[in-house]
Structure 1
Amino acid sequence: MASSEAQHASGLQSPAFRKTSNVAESGNNRDGDGTNLEEVWMGLALSICDESDYAIGFALHDGTYCIDFKVDRLKWESSSEDKAAHITEHIIQSVDDYRKEHLVKIIGTGVELELDRAAPDLCSQLWHVLDIVPTLHQAALPEGADRCDVEMIDEVAEYVARESLQIFGPTKQPRLRLSFRNEVEVDHAGMCKIATLDDYEKSVRPRTWQAVKHYTGLMKEKKIRMVFFSATPQGGGVALMRHAIIRFLKLMGVQAEWFVPRPRPDIFRITKNNHNILQGVDTTTNVSEEKLQDIHDWVSSNATRFWLKKNGPLLPPDQGGADVIVVDDPQLPELVKIAKQQSPKRPVIFRSHIEVRDDLVEQQGSSAKKVWDNLWERIREADVFISHPVRSFVPPQVDMATVGWLPATTDWLDGLNKDLVKWDTQFYFHLLRQTCRQQGASELVWPQRPYIAQVARFDPSKGIPDVLKSYSRFRGMCSETNVPTENIPQLIVCGHGSVDDPDASRIYHASTDLIKENYDHLRDDIVLVRIGPSDQLLDAILSSASVVLQLSTREGFEVKISEALHKGKPVIASRTGGIPLQIEHGKSGYLVNRGDTDAVADRLAELLIQEDSKEKYATMSACQR
């Protein structure tokens, strides 16, 4: 039993502040256009005066000042469990109604800790239902203040709205937070709460969850401190995995930390050259011994400055160091050597996340052999060598008894993978159009026309020239069969950047030049755009695509394929690296030989423009869900 009333309000209920939303209902807007929503932040606070009487404070902040507020007084006579659910339901419904009535996009919401304790599922619901980043804050009330005072709970809500605002940067994303010793403080040191353990448990089979609880329980019982090292805190697949695993392990109560070195662009140029050489993408560059030594000097200087000081993670465990070390990048091989020098018996895990061409590293005199030999000299003492589950990715020098297989993983609960409702999808497509205009790129006209997507970094291994050539051939097939313009898919090629990837700008500009030179007649229908750090924008693009491409020439294990399949999208991908392990040919997608653009065009035609395309598409999509 529950009842509620607004104790006092301004704007949140006042018609004077209201602009009526017609985004979803009116025919005046293209359905996918969205609208220019005002971006705001919210604060939420709770006052429990007694078992049956409590108040919820709401406050809106536009980035400069508080623009709106209200307090709802609720009566409740039932169990505490029901009360928690009722609080959550009331807030979610109130906020959803408000955003649609006032045409606002609530970027973040400060949630007072008292409210989080009373409604532990609220933050998860704000994230998954309303696409709002919830942040937790403790409000210190003035001496003598009464939480049951309606005006006081109003002030608390405004306070946590201001606190939440400070976590976000100019891109309207939570700031990346690094603390002392360059430790990556994931989710702003846990202040951003987007999931609960119940959410994770529901995402896997019961047997998997029991196994996870067993092993994390052992780690907690033995008080094991596990430390990860990687080159960058954001941008690439390694960083994506580390954010996810640290978030999860913290929720499980496991002591886990993640450190990154201080970046140096000149070093990242060398390490990216090594990356390309080991994958066989670059067979002409020859890296000098001096350049290789520069990498190791850089790693050693970071270790000395940040991680070998008192209680530093690389010190022996009995001196405050970690119990287990995970070196997650070929950029940091020196750390394996240093960790073993400090504590020879401490387990050290090296994870190789790229396709290492075992045939090239065995060729005498090749650049690949030179790079690999230098790398192997520093990682050979690792107790475990983790590789993508492809035998040819493991060079013969590695003892197979030490090898563990682990594909790239992704978090189904994060911004790249969660389900977006129509309202939020429209917002992100509006953001995409703004980004395209800022970069002078063509624009999608979805949903008036479907589109094909490749979401990947602008990297020489991602096969972007093959994507463009395949699309051109497919468009020729559309012309030959007189497909109506409104049924002809556009193409979007987009992706995030990474601080350790200096190739991105070069490949982007090379792709732009290629379109001008060879595909100018299709220029209006090819959207080539660099996306900022918005996971939900990439989520919206993949979720609304008709077909997803991944035409990599070299690939370890492409996580974007997993994400697309999870969304029920047919994927056409190259038969290279670990990709054949991800796609069931003819069921969840199609595998084509590397560089076979005719085959890609044929498969696109099968799925999109032939007479039985709808039936094939529906069957393939159904196989993935």
Structure 2
Amino acid sequence: MAYMDGITCICDNGRTLEDHRPIVGDDVISGIYRKAAALQGKRVLHVNSTYQSGGVAEMILSLVPLMNDVGVRTQWNILNGEGDFFTITKNFHNALQGQTISFSDDEKGLYLRTNECFSGQMKIDHDLVVIHDPQPLPLIRFYEKTQPWVWRCHVDLSNPDTELWEFLKDFILDYDRMVISHEEYHRKGMSMEQWICRPAIDPLSEKNRDLTDAEIAGLLEKYGVPIDKPLITQISRFDKWKDPEGVIDVFARVREHVDCRLVLCGSMAPDDPEGWAIYRRVEEKAREFIDAGDVILITAEDHLLVNALQRVSCVILQKSLREGFGLTVTEGLWKGRPVIASRIGGIPLQIEDGETGFLLDPTDTDGFAWRIRQVLENPELGERLGRAGKEHVRQNFLITRLLSDYLDMLNTELGVLNT
């Protein structure tokens, strides 16, 4: 559960570190307690731009209570921005992922003024500050820096727009550490450490916990999703980098050979103003399938629905064109389902082609269609991939590992390494 109290997000999901012991084992839990021993009472602040809709917010929502549970006093603040600000920062996001975009001085000015205004609402007297993504990046300029600041970038930085990168780099260089998700996102000319920290999911969250058959049936009925045909699902925002229009092309090819159904499910994030325009394009492209009941578009913010869809799907897709990491892939693997995804960003860290899922070039429409048909026509193949994928996530991409990584970073930055 999360709600806003001014600029602070209050999150108490009722879960403790001990609740994860049956899933990850005694050694993992004991190791976390040891790392937290020297950090008791230390204060950490996370800042990002939204408390809902998206993997970043979901990770912070699970991480903050666990950090508090092990004795690190952790707070989460949300930057207040308006429509024009989020339009600008959405363009920043696109440019960081390779799109060429021009930014006017007025736009850059609004970006800085919004951060300056927000800084007047927020006191920072913590032992460490973690700033997530570009939206609140300039905040560091509006405080007397008396503690380490960390910039955590969740997007693909392998080929950013040069002009925007140089603009943002001026702020990034003020930070003590830059945290990225993949070796390929390292940037030259940075004086601070660029530390790799893989994202993770919470296996006990509403989106990932076990569901009863009755819960699943009720959710599918509520949202009008029949399962009389094999179900193919992509869970992602209606964002051009997730290529929902390309997914429709793939489905059209599969549908020529297999009677199946496609669900595209993605909530509309408040800091993503492009979502509805892309949704309407997808709706128009898929109109014939929608009218026939073979394509279902859902924009609800319902984590239990996502959970249910992933559990009943015969195939889970992630046909992204760019992807910082791809937590929807992690979620699908955790449900023990076969995942077919693009060989880009952090997805290959999760999928070993042919072992824990299938990887393809994001533009290979025929290849995606062929792999989907292969799984639909060979259920035992999907079961084998699903088992291997779930175990890979258990070993590498659960929230306890992310917590452990953050404790390592805190011990290093605060100079309280255990001996």
TM-score normalised per structure 1: 0.60
> Is 1:183 paired with 2:8?
yes
SS at match of 2:21: helix
Please point out which of 278, 285, 302 is paired with 1:507.
278
**1:399-414 equivalences in 2 (<5 Å):** 399=191, 402-414=193-205
Match of 2:402 in 1: none
Cα-to-partner distance string for 1:377-417 (whole Å, 9 max, x where unaligned): 112121111001232x2221224x60111122211110010
The residue aligned with 1:496 is 267
- The aligned amino acid for 1:249 is M
Residue in structure 1 matching 2:253, options 458, 467, 473: 473
Cα distance in structure 2, aligned partners of 1:520 and 1:534: 24
Q: Does 1:622 align with 2:387?
A: yes
Counterpart check, 1:604 vs 2:385 = no
In the alignment, is the contact (CA less than 8 A) between 2:182 and 2:198 conserved in 1? yes
Within 2, Cα distance between the matches of 1:286 and 1:500?
Answer: 20
Letter of the aligned partner of 2:207 in structure 1?
Answer: L
Q: Distance in 2 between matches of 1:234 and 1:218?
A: 32
Q: Distance in 1 between matches of 2:154 and 2:290?
A: 39
Match of 2:226 in 1: 445
Q: Which amino acid aligns with 1:347?
A: P
> Which of 66, 77, 81 is residue 248 of structure 1 equivalent to?
66
Structure 2 SS opposite 1:326: strand
State yes or no: 1:398 paired with 2:190.
yes
Aligned AA for 2:266? G
Structure 2 gaps, min length 5: 391-419
Aligned-partner Cα distance in 2 for 1:520–1:177 = 38
Q: 2:28 aligns with which of 208, 214, 221?
A: 208
Identity level (%): 27
Distance, in Å, in 2 between the alignment partners of 1:582 and 1:301 is: 40
CA shift, 1:234, in A, is 1.3
**Shift in Å at residue 584 of structure 1?**
1.1
Match of 1:580 among 335, 338, 348: 348
Give the letter for the 1:349 counterpart. V
Are 1:199 and 2:19 matched, yes or no? Answer: yes
Is the 1:390–1:577 contact (alpha carbons within 8 Å) kept by the matching residues of 2? Answer: no
Indicate which of 275, 289, 307 corresponds to 2:93. Answer: 275
1:37-48 matches, cutoff 5 A: none
- Could you tell me which residue of structure 2 aligns to residue 293 of structure 1? 109
Contact 2:119 2:139 in 1 (8 A): yes
For structure 1, the 5+ residue unaligned runs are 1-173, 314-320, 362-367, 434-443, 479-487
Partner of 1:342, secondary structure, is coil
Distance 1:352 1:197, change over 3 A: closer
1:205-252 deviations in Å (ceiling 9; x for gaps) = 4332222112222110xx311111111111121111110011212222
* Structure 2 residue 134 is the aligned partner of structure 1 residue 330: yes
Q: SS at the partner of 1:499?
A: coil
Following TM superposition, the consecutive aligned residue runs of length 4 or more in structure 1 with deviations greater than 6 angstroms are none
Q: Identify if the C-alpha distance between structure 1 residues 601 and 522 changes in structure 2 by more than 3 Å, giving closer, same or farther.
A: farther
CA contact (8 A) 1:337 1:379 kept: no
Q: Does residue 173 of structure 2 align to residue 380 of structure 1?
A: yes
Amino acid at match of 1:475: R
Evaluate the alpha carbon distance shift between residue 569 and residue 382 of structure 1 in structure 2; reply closer, same or farther with a 3 A threshold: same
Give 1:199 shift: 1.0
Show the counterpart of 2:339.
571
Alignment partners' CA distance in 2, 1:581 and 1:256: 29
Alpha-carbon distance change, 622 to 522 in structure 1, aligned in 2, over 3 angstroms: farther
Q: How far 1:263 moved relative to its partner?
A: 2.8
Does the C-alpha gap of structure 1 residues 490 and 520 become closer, same or farther in structure 2, counting only changes over 3 Å? closer
Q: Supply the distance in 2 between the matched residues of 1:614 and 1:429 (Cα, whole angstroms).
A: 22
Q: Within 1, Cα distance between the matches of 2:37 and 2:139? A: 28
Query: What letter matches 2:9 in structure 1?
Result: V
The reply to whether residue 527 of structure 1 matches residue 296 of structure 2 is yes
Aligned match for 2:329, one of 538, 551, 561: 561
Aligned to 2:417: none
On the 8 A contact 1:390/1:578 being kept in 2, the answer is no
Greater RCO (CA < 8 Å, at least 6 residues apart)? 2
Q: Is the contact made by 1:231 and 1:260 (CA closer than 8 Å) also made in structure 2?
A: yes
- After TM superposition, give the deviation of residue 543 of structure 1 in Å: 0.9
1:545 and 2:313 correspond: yes
Counterparts of 1:147-166 in structure 2 under 5 Å?
none
- Report the equivalent of 2:393: none
Paired AA for residue 463 in structure 1:
D
How many residue pairs were aligned? 390
Q: 1:259/1:425 Cα in 2 relative to 1: closer, same or farther (>3 Å)?
A: same
